[in-house]
Copies of this chain bind each other. A is one copy, B any other.
Amino acid sequence: MRLYLAGPDVFLPNPLARAAALKAICARHGLAGVFPLDDLAGGDPPAWADLPGAYRIARRNEAHIAGCDALVANLTPFRGPSADAGTVFELGFMRALGRPVFGWSNAAASFAARTRAAFSATAHADGTWRDAEGMLMEDFAPLSDNLMIDGAIAASGGVLVTRDLPRTEAWTSLVAFEACIEAAAGRLKG
């Protein structure tokens, strides 16, 4: 079983070392991890040769996802209360393919709580929380992120594993990741 490892892990100072660590954990559970920076089997199609580099990366990641049996997303909040945008895109992409999607995050507070803490939340008379621009804050605790994310994971039969860690461990701890991989291995082989 091939598992696509979506996440902002590609932005770490040493993404290849991270890739190796994630893949080793997958292998321990009988799964083959596919990292976004991996080459495509057979290389990029010649038709992509004239694309800008960023667009080639996007095509390659889409092809990686299409070639995997499931997706595991690092949903640790990235520069705001939500997960990294690229990761969220990829989660939606795999969900539409009808395959299982899993998530893990090194933050355990709900999306509602994190959003209220990060922005100037005002409680309105109608019971809603809104930001300084008047935009509603989703209030679906204990959801971990936007409802499309938690909803897709649940609907696909996946799991979302969180751990309550200090922010200094956001990009180092792989405890939640390993728990997620263990759960994924159980579901995918079950």
A147 to B61, CA, bound (A): 10
Interchain CB contact under 8 A, A58 and B93: no
Q: Does A113 contact B (CB under 8 A)?
A: no
| B95:A147 contact, CB within 8 angstroms | no
A contacts with B, residue count (CB < 8 A): 60
Output the least CB separation between A78 and chain B (Å).
8
B residues near A65, Cβ cutoff 8 Å? 96
Residues of B within 8 A of A12 (CB): 134-136
Q: Is A157 located at the chain interface by the 8 A CB criterion?
A: no
Please determine whether B151 and A57 come into contact, CB atoms closer than 8 angstroms: yes
Query: Within A30-89, which residues are at the interface with B (CB < 8 Å)?
Result: 52-55, 57-59, 61-62, 65-66, 78-86, 88-89
Contact string, A133-160, partner B, CB cutoff 8 A, digits 1/0?
1111110100101111111101100000
